A = this chain, B = another copy of it.
Amino acid sequence: MRPDEILDLDPVIHVPTRLAILSLLATMKSASFSYLKKSIGVTDGNLSTHLNKLDEHQYIQITKTFQGKRPLTTCSLTDRGRKAFMAYIQRMEQIIKTQKME
What is A's interface to B at a CB cutoff of 8 Å?
Answer: 2-4, 6-7, 9, 14, 16-17, 19-20, 23-24, 26-27, 39-42, 89, 92-93, 95-96, 98-99, 102
Min distance, Cβ A36 to any Cβ of chain B, angstroms:
8
Copies of this polypeptide in the complex: 2
11 example contacts (A-B, Cβ-Cβ < 8 A) are as follows: A3-B20, A3-B24, A7-B16, A14-B16, A19-B95, A23-B98, A26-B99, A26-B102, A27-B98, A27-B102, A92-B95
With A4-B39, A39-B4, A41-B7 known to touch, is A99 a contact of B95 (CB < 8 Å)? Answer: no
> In the docked arrangement, what's the CA distance between A93 and B96, Å?
7
Further 9 A-B residue pairs, CB within 8 A, beyond A6-B17, A93-B96: A3-B20, A4-B40, A6-B19, A6-B40, A9-B19, A14-B16, A19-B95, A23-B95, A92-B92
Closest 6 CB pairs of A and B: A6-B20, A4-B41, A3-B20, A27-B102, A3-B39, A7-B16
